[in-house]
Each structure stands twice: as C-alpha cells, then as structure tokens.
Chain A
C-alpha cells in the first residue's frame, strides 16, 4: 500500500436511489448487492483503501441499518488502527433548522465539527453509489499541481445521457469555465462523476459563508467556477452510476463478461461477515445435473439445474430441472424443481415454487404500468422473501413487492407490466 496522502474522505451514502425500485425498499442504494458478493459502496471504499487513505466519514440518512452492518468497524477496508477509522455520520438534532440533510453540501455542512476535528490538506467528497476504480492519490496530486480550490472528477459520456449529470466546459488547462447542472440541451459531453477534492480551508470557509447553498452540483460548484479555481480531473475508464434497474442489470452483466470491470482484479474488498454472515459459507456445490456456463457463482450455492448468463450471490439453491437465464439472484434464494427464470432480478431469500416461471413470454416491450420509467426492457423484479407459488407465471416488466402483508396471488399469472402489492 502506498503512503497515505493525509486526506479526509466523506462518502455521501444517504440518497434514496428510488429508481432502483424494490431493491431499495429496505436498504440504501450503496448497500445494494452487486456482482454476486459485493455491495455498491465497496467500490468507493476500496478505492479509498487502495489509494492509501484511511480516515473516512460516511454520511447516511435513508434506511442506513443494512449499510451500517456492512461497514461495521471498517476492518475489511483496513480502516482500523491508530490513525485509521471509519465513522458513520447520521443526521442529528440540535441544529437550528430542520435537521435532515437537505442536499449534498448541506450534509457536509452539518458535519463541520467532524471536519474541524480532523485538520488535513484536502477533503475528498465521494458518492457511495458508483461502480468504478480510481486512484484518488493521482487526483489529489493533480489538485495540488493545479493549486485548485476544487477539483472535480469528470469523464466524457454520450450526449444523450448528459442530462443526468452536472456538465462542465473546460479550457486548455482543464480549468472549468462554465457549468450546467443536468442540462436539457447540453453544450458539452463532459460529465461530473460526483467526485470532489476540496482544499480543506476553502471547503470550510465556503460552507460557512454561504449557508443557503444546499447542493454541490447546483449551488456551490457554479459559484466557485466564477469566483475561485475549479479544475476538471479527467477520468478514462469504467464508471457507472447504477441508479436505474437497467443500468444495474447491465453493470452486473459487465462483471460477468469482464466487460471493462473485474472487481477481483481491481482489489475490491467487501465485508463477508456482515448481515448474518452474508458470505461466510462453505464452497459452492455443483451437483451431477448442474449445467452452468457463463455464470458467477458465490460460496454456499447449491446448483443442480441450469444457470446461464447469470450472477448468483451466496447460498442460492437451484434444484434439478430449474433454469436461470440472464438474471441476478441475491443471497439464499431457492429456485425449486423445474422453475424457469429469465431476465429477472430476485432479491434475497425468495423462494420460486416448482415449475413457476419468472419472465414468461416474449412481450419485452410491455412496460411496467405503475413505473414505466423503471421497467421497460423486459426485466422483472421480485422483492425479498417473496414465496412464488408452484406453477405460477410472472410476465415481463413485472414487480412483486416484498411484503409482510397478507398476500393475495392472482389465480395463475401476473401479466406483463403488472405489479403486485405495490406500496401506497
């Protein structure tokens, strides 16, 4: 490991990430499982670790329990030691106005005491939502060489996607000279990755002086561009904001196909012992009837059926004659005999009854009626701990919510684009 750079890292992990639909019903987006064994926040945490930085605050707000269990004492990322540590920074009462975090900058401002207790040269502010590998040391070196007040990690994205991001225009020296937050008609294709290096004193000063500014992207950066030195740190490589079901599914498939991303080669660490010993299990068992090809299989799986083009978390059981295709299955699901799963994301501890079908038919284009912008390519979602009855058929773009309420299943099938038990 390289010498640390004496930076303090704040990871913003409080957002709802509501477009991930039922995957964030009971957990924050950074805690959503990814790539079989990992959770989304592991990428940010491992990048920090692999850059030799060892003091981290994680700002939480939305459904933080799963995330907090996962972070534990930070040992998996080597954050335990005299000068190393990970601190959960939840919202707290005792401030003047409403106490919830109202935006990214507001969240950091409410933790000024934490910042002031850890004097450093630079503060890095990251999102806990993104899948990427980045050397933050190099970014800090860039920041210093430019004598910048703020440096922003930026990368080129397709013009059609720029409306989701902050977009910047730079001069020959990489200095950002113009900024649009989520532009409808973009003038550039250079997008902010939500990764900031701030000069420590500058950050404290700017947060104190402009207390009405709630968000980095919408408030602080546009003003700083005019008044101060803001630079774009160019990033080339794999980076995904897996904020939508489609993007989430595609990024998982990228891991499977080694399509620009390999968590193991990237030295991504996770906490295998969190959450009821999530991944602390014996080796996977492939039975005499197992037919597994192009699949990621985690420890504790027991497979005696067919698995193709899919990602399986720990402890998934696939019985004889069952088939899984193009799907992502979370921990401890049981796929009973003869069940078929095609193009689905199945949350943890789901039981798919014998002969049941998830992803029936070929009506991929029949969008979800309730959330057409969430499910439109054929992917169906099953919420955690749902028990799908024997022989039941679930179509395309369907959602079965996880629910402890009494379940009233339709007679034989859930038609394409329909949802079951959606929240009020």
Chain B
C-alpha cells in the first residue's frame, strides 16, 4: 500500500459549555453518541474509511479522557509503521509555548510536527460533527483544481445561515463544488446557504504562511479571520459540496434530534453503513455481556448496546451499556448514557441523562404531554435522584448534586444547581 500523504488534524478541544451540562466536564467531541461511542468517533471513522492514517488531535481540555479514548489508535486501524494517531496537548519549553488560543493557534503551535511529516495536504477537521464523508473525494477535487485550500460546504436552511460560516461558490463544477467567491462568518447578511463544515484542506506552504501571518495579526480562527483574509488576497479557495447528513448539534435540542435520527427503518444516521468505530477498550465496553430483556420487558424502535438490562418498557430511545431499566419503568424518546439506573415505575420522556445517574422509584422526568412540542430535559452526570421526584420538561440538572440540593418538584425549564 502506498504511504498516505495526507496529514489530518482534528480540532477537539473547543465548544465547552455548548451542550449545557453535557459539556461541563468534557469537550463536545467527547460527548457520548451512538449508543456506545463519542462524537469524535465520526471524524476518526471517516479518516479510517478514507484511508488517511496520519492523524493528530489537538485538545487542551481534560486531555486524559481523550487520550484514554484514543488508546493506541487500533480501534481505527491507526497503528502500524506508517499509521498513527497522536493527541497533542499544549506544551511549555519552546518559543511557541502556551495555551491554544484558537484552532489556528493550536495548529501553529504544532507546525514543527506538521512540517516534520512533509505532508502533501493538511486536512483540518472539527471533532464535533456527526457525518459520514469520504475525504478522498474532497482531496481528489482539491488536487484536480490545484487549490490552495478546499473547504467542505453543506446546504443549510435559509433561516439558519446566521449561525454558520457561509460561502458563495461559483457554478464551475456543478454538484461537485466551485470556487469560493464570497464568505460570511455568522452573519445575517449571508447571500447563500452553503455552510462551512469546518473542514479545510490546505496546501502545506499556504498553511505555513498564513499561520505565521495570523500570529502577527492575532488571528486564531479560520472562519472568522483567516478565510476572509485569504479570499481578499485572491487565494485559490474551492468549496467541495457535501450532500449527506450533517449533524451539527449546537444545542441540546439538536443533540437530541440527531440521536433520534439513528432510529427508524431507514435512519439518516446508519452506524452500520457508515462503518462507525469506537474504542471498545475505553470504559471497557468490550467486557459487557449481551443485553438482557426479561420479566415482561419491552423494547421497540430502540438502539441498545451490550451490557444493559431491561425489565420495563423502552421506546424510541438510545441506550448505552450498563443501563438498567427496572420493572414498571417507561423510558421514551430519551438518551441514557452509560450506567444509568431507572428505578421501578419511573417515567422518562424526552430526557438526555449523562453517565451514572440513578433515578429512585416513581420519578417522573421530562414532559408528560406531546413530546414533539416539549423541550429536552437534561440530567448531568453522577446524580442520585430521590424517589418520587418530578422533573419538568426542559429542566436542567447540574452534575453530581449534593443530596440536600434536591426538592420534590423541579419545575419545567428550571435549572437545578
């Protein structure tokens, strides 16, 4: 096999706090997803499926959990003579030392590593998105156009353009893509609805030059400063059009929706078709036995990994390993992370519950009405919810609350801290 000449760099540190209590203690890339994995697994699986084997992950946020998750890289076949995945935390002891001040700065601080690898292309990705993409198609387009930069774009609804970096592409290559002619970063003025997916393929020398300039100008973001500046200087920037599913999940409601997008007969997110991989050694997922459904337990339209026990009813839900749903409990339209225990006769509807929460018996959590109209209820990790507690729709429970913080009824939309 020829040596892969593309170096991929995944930005995995940012967006803390974006997903409410789910990102209080971890970056968004490390948020659980898919019933057994993490959001960053989508990028890593895409790289594996695209035959890109030189990968580094830039993160400065609680690196140990990410390092644990990546392990040897064997889960994505990134182990071997010419294959590796490295986690690169900030460092001291050189000229460029210090915290990463933004994505561009993070890459700048590791330029020695990039240059050492002598890549033909540097592919910069975000570790925060849910999608399946063959990066080789983008690379093909990049090479065909002899582009300085090729970015991936996907169509978003017109009324949402203000939340994204939006590009105007010329029509030179129809459905494949086109040259970037204008760019708006999170602007109400955008005159297109092709949104940047935060995927940038750089010619290395272009990257080296612009990152040096960015240091001088104090620019730390690609979309905000670097792309507009390069566009101004007539750089050859192309846009590659992506037509598949793209889960952006910037709010809890979006996160919940992308979970629901894994359910049904022909789900938009099909982990099997996408060849989605995670590290089964992380949290020793591989040591779970098959899931037991017994004692009148019911599970329909549900995704459930190994290691759970269902004695109650589960509908339209995603169940991670080690979850127990006791007799009489009903869990619907919900996402339960690793190790949740749902007590007898509990009712959970439209709830996202982080790791290791224990719901005492007879709790009612989330909406009691039409779930489609209701807000998502989020429970942070390591909580012990007293029996018979009622938690209203859209409420937020902070992680690991002390026992005396709880009261019988948490109102709709209330934040319990």
Which residues does A use to contact B, with CB under 8 Å?
A: 35-38, 76, 256, 262-264, 267-270, 272-273, 279-300, 311-312
Find out whether the CB atom of B272 lies under 8 angstroms from the CB atom of A282.
yes
Candidates A264, A280, A311; contact of B280 at CB < 8 Å: A280
* Residue on A nearest B306 in the bound complex, by CB: A299
Interface residues in B, total, Cβ within 8 A: 33
Bound-state Cα–Cα, A256 to B297, Å? 14
* Residue on B nearest A298 in the bound complex, by CB: B290
Find out whether the CB atom of A282 lies under 8 angstroms from the CB atom of B265.
no
Q: Which one of B47-55, B152-160, B281-289 is at the interface?
A: B281-289
Interface string of B176-208 (1 = CB under 8 A from A): 000000000000000000000000000000000
Bound-state Cα–Cα, A270 to B295, Å? 27
Whether A298 touches B306, Cβ cut-off 8 Å, given contacts A76-B286, A272-B286, A290-B299, is: yes
Bound-state Cα–Cα, A111 to B304, Å? 46
Find out whether the CB atom of B290 lies under 8 angstroms from the CB atom of A297.
yes
Candidates A38, A263, A270, A292; contact of B293 at CB < 8 Å: A292
A-B pair number, CB within 8 angstroms? 106
Known contacts A297-B292, A297-B293, A300-B272; 14 further A-B pairs (Cβ under 8 A): A256-B294, A264-B287, A264-B288, A264-B289, A272-B280, A272-B286, A280-B277, A283-B34, A283-B36, A288-B300, A294-B295, A296-B291, A296-B292, A299-B305
19 contacts between A and B (CB under 8 A): A35-B289, A36-B289, A37-B306, A76-B286, A263-B289, A264-B287, A270-B286, A282-B34, A282-B35, A282-B271, A282-B272, A283-B318, A285-B303, A291-B298, A292-B297, A294-B293, A296-B291, A296-B292, A312-B290
Find out whether the CB atom of A284 lies under 8 angstroms from the CB atom of B292.
no
Nearest CB in chain A: distance from B48 CB, A:
13
Interface string of B297-332 (1 = CB under 8 A from A): 111111111110000000000110000000000000
Determine the chain B residues whose CB is within 8 A of the CB of A283 once the complex forms. Answer: 34-36, 271, 303-306, 318-319
Find out whether the CB atom of B304 lies under 8 angstroms from the CB atom of A297.
yes
Within 8 A of A (CB), among B246-292: 265, 271-272, 276-277, 280, 286-292
Whether A288 touches B293, Cβ cut-off 8 Å, given contacts A282-B272, A300-B272, is: no
Bound-state Cα–Cα, A268 to B300, Å? 29
The answer, yes or no, to whether B80 is at the interface (CB within 8 Å) is no
The answer, yes or no, to whether B296 is at the interface (CB within 8 Å) is yes
Bound-state Cα–Cα, A300 to B305, Å? 8
* Residue on A nearest B291 in the bound complex, by CB: A297
Find out whether the CB atom of B293 lies under 8 angstroms from the CB atom of A287.
no
Bound-state Cα–Cα, A61 to B297, Å? 44
Bound-state Cα–Cα, A263 to B286, Å? 13
Find out whether the CB atom of A36 lies under 8 angstroms from the CB atom of B300.
no
Determine the chain A residues whose CB is within 8 A of the CB of B293 once the complex forms. Answer: 292-295, 297
Nearest CB in chain B: distance from A144 CB, A:
31
8 closest cross-chain pairs (CB), A and B: A283-B35, A36-B290, A282-B271, A264-B289, A283-B305, A296-B290, A298-B290, A283-B303
Nearest CB in chain B: distance from A244 CB, A:
23
Determine the chain A residues whose CB is within 8 A of the CB of B291 once the complex forms. Answer: 284, 296-298
